[in-house]
A and B are shown apart, each in its own frame.
Chain A
Amino acid sequence: MAGARSEAVLQRQAAQGKPNKYGVYKKIKKHWQFYLLVFAPLLYIAIFKYVPMFGVLIAFKEYNVVQGVFGSPWVGFKYFKQFFDTPFFWQYIKNTLGITLYGLIVGFPAPIVLALALNEIRNGWFKKSVQMVTYAPYFISTVIMVSIIIVNLSPHVGLFSNILTAFGVEPVDLMGKPELFKSIYVWSDVWQYTGYGAIIYIAALSGVNPDLYEAAKVDGATRLQKIVHIDIPSLVPVTVILLILNLGNVMSLGFEKIYLMQNPLNQTASEVISTYVYKVGLLGANFSFSAAIGLFNSVVNFVLLIVVNTAAKKLSSTSLW
């Protein structure tokens, strides 16, 4: 039995050693069930991921329903020009970048700080409760999250106005102030996602070799020194990867939360590219114009990702590819 098994392995290895056309066919035939399994998922990817990529062609066309994506007449860069000439073009770019960069500056280090702090304390009920409570807001839906913001900040019943009133300050409608919009958006994100974001860093910290701490203790290092010289360096690779991914996304600010937070009063600060795409495209039925803006956005992101990744490769030898 054992002999037969090793013979079969040898045969198979011999077959794998000679990659020719016949070999490939044989391999596929032998594992035909794999191809049956991946058929439906691949079909999905083709239809819902790759077909839309070709659908961006309408950005260069005068799309109409009758002629469809391929039949509609070419207009070249007309819609891109139209977008760049929009009086609000710079305002939308500024709002988008302003919110994402602000979010990155505040929101990116927050999970690292939380993970470092949690790593300092002993495993026990306190640590467990902090983890459990800080992860929980991640599961709150965007609609509920925005409602919590609106309700808590509302001038007549909210928690925040209660606090203001307690200090003798007249409550104001904070959601209606354009200058506060970015801060409300970013800090509520910090509230919701810091705990979840910390998990990945906690995982990285738990992988640190305990010998390093022992050695540091023997050398008389303080806790702070251990954080600076052991913990933080061990977080660098995962931090760089996450930073690359985030920087490659600065132009794509999620639509859901910002759209829900918009109101006529804060419009000047809250109109961003994704909400504009939705309004012109689906509400205004101007498909080509909207697709052009979307494509512009994707291309900027893609280029940024490549630039940042190349820079990271040069500077720190950690990169996505």
Chain B
Amino acid sequence: MGKRAIRESAADRLFIAAVYLFLTVVLCVILFPLLYILSASFSSPAAVTSGKVWLWPVDFSLEGYKAVFRNANILIGYGNSLFYAVFGTLVNVAMTVMIAYPLARKTFYGRGAIMFALAFTMFFDGGLIPNYLVVKSLGLLDTRLAMIVPGALAVFQVIVARTFFQTTIPDELAEAAEIDGCSDFKFMVNVVLPLSKPILAVMTLMYAVGHWNAYFNALIYLKNANLFPLQIFLRNILILNTVDPAMVANVNDLLVQQGLKDLLKYSLIVVSSAPVLIIYPFVQKHFVKGVMIGSLKG
């Protein structure tokens, strides 16, 4: 800042004030609906129904959260989603590294052809029904594997990881290791992976969030409710409006029951988004870096 020899003109100061104002408005527009949901979830049913909640909780209560946890399906869904996110992400990261690292090496004969074959799938896709038929013919319908195997690899992540390996691991290093008798596999595990923690973190985050948020594959591949991820149960309650009577069973007054039905939706939104939004601030830096690496290659 010390270099700023020439003072800003009045017009410039006005302009920068407008920029700050604009960004403040953007900030409020994004924060307000989120804050509203958070506040409503901690309010009493009556306060929510009568529209008394604006920015802060009114008549603080945990009724909504109690109602959410009275529903056994939510817990089943939470468990299933956790399972799919953990194992799905493990498979994703392993598969992505397995193909992205060789593709980053010049000594890998045939990498051009493989790169083309991968990139082509980003622009042309068989479509819903042919994909469904493949999953069906492999006997994966209505199994836990249907939530993991059909999405085992994202081509976009492969390209991002490959770009990272290419730019951070110099070819000379690999050549030197090769001459010293280090195998490709050993080099990858002992040298490349420890140097690639940022990209591994980003990849893990993106894949894990993808699994946690996914509902489409479950919608088309699963029929057994015991295998449903959280998102399917959320859809039933939040969007199709089918509230399990057990959740509001302890309330006899119909009007209060309706209020609780409204309230528990807010609580449910908070409960289900919490895991992702809690982890988010800690990985934000990495994640921005990852997107930027991806953008280098276009």
Please, what's the 1-or-0 string for A7-49, where 1 marks a CB less than 8 Å from any CB in chain B?
0110000000000000010011011011111101110110111
CB-contacts of B240-263 with A (<8 A): 262
Q: Which of A86-94, A95-103, A130-138, A176-184 contacts B (4 or more CB under 8 A)?
A: A130-138
Please, what's the 1-or-0 string for B127-155, where 1 marks a CB less than 8 Å from any CB in chain A?
11111111000100000000001101101
CB-contacts of B242-298 with A (<8 A): 262, 265-266, 269, 272-273, 276-277, 280-281, 284, 287-288, 291-292, 295, 298
Residues of B within 8 A of A42 (CB): 99, 114
Please tell me if the beta carbons of B15 and A224 are within 8 angstroms of each other in the complex.
Answer: yes
Residues of A within 8 A of B105 (CB): 31, 34
Among B12, B31, B234, B272, point to the contact of A133 (Cβ < 8 A): B31
Total number of A residues with any Cβ neighbor in B under 8 Å:
100
Q: Which of B65-73, B193-201, B210-218 contacts A (4 or more CB under 8 A)?
A: B210-218
Among A44, A255, A260, point to the contact of B153 (Cβ < 8 A): A44
Closest to B295 in A: A200
Please tell me if the beta carbons of B128 and A222 are within 8 angstroms of each other in the complex.
Answer: no
Bound-state CA distance A40–B100 (Å) is 12
Residues of B within 8 A of A144 (CB): 234, 238, 269, 272-273
Taking the complex as formed, is A204 at the interface, i.e. its CB lies under 8 A from any CB of chain B? yes
Among B99, B126, B280, point to the contact of A52 (Cβ < 8 A): B126
Please tell me if the beta carbons of B295 and A282 are within 8 angstroms of each other in the complex.
Answer: no
CB-contacts of B1-35 with A (<8 A): 1, 6, 8-9, 11-12, 15-16, 19-20, 22-23, 26-27, 29-34
Please tell me if the beta carbons of A148 and B37 are within 8 angstroms of each other in the complex.
Answer: yes
Residues of A within 8 A of B212 (CB): 141
Bound-state CA distance A30–B175 (Å) is 13
Residues of A within 8 A of B96 (CB): 41
Bound-state CA distance A65–B216 (Å) is 23
A41-B153 in contact given A55-B134, A117-B19 (Cβ < 8 Å): yes
Count of inter-chain pairs, beta carbons less than 8 A: 271
Please tell me if the beta carbons of B292 and A203 are within 8 angstroms of each other in the complex.
Answer: yes
Taking the complex as formed, is B191 at the interface, i.e. its CB lies under 8 A from any CB of chain A? no
Please tell me if the beta carbons of A223 and B51 are within 8 angstroms of each other in the complex.
Answer: no
Task: Pick from B36, B126, B216, B220 the residue with the most CB of A within 10 Å.
Answer: B126
Please tell me if the beta carbons of A48 and B133 are within 8 angstroms of each other in the complex.
Answer: no
Taking the complex as formed, is A191 at the interface, i.e. its CB lies under 8 A from any CB of chain B? yes
Q: Least Cβ distance of A188 to chain B in Å?
A: 10
Residues of A within 8 A of B121 (CB): 45, 49-50
Interface, chain B (partner A; CB < 8 A)? 1, 6, 8-9, 11-12, 15-16, 19-20, 22-23, 26-27, 29-34, 36-37, 48-49, 51, 53-54, 95-96, 98-99, 101-103, 105, 107-110, 114, 117-118, 121, 123-134, 138, 149-150, 152-153, 155, 158, 175-176, 179, 183-185, 188, 209, 212-216, 220, 231, 234-235, 238-239, 262, 265-266, 269, 272-273, 276-277, 280-281, 284, 287-288, 291-292, 295, 298
| 29 A-B pairs (CB sep. < 8 Å) | A5-B176, A28-B109, A28-B110, A37-B188, A47-B134, A49-B126, A52-B130, A53-B125, A117-B22, A130-B27, A135-B284, A141-B215, A146-B238, A147-B265, A151-B238, A151-B265, A162-B51, A162-B53, A162-B54, A204-B295, A218-B6, A224-B15, A238-B298, A241-B298, A260-B235, A277-B127, A291-B127, A298-B124, A301-B123
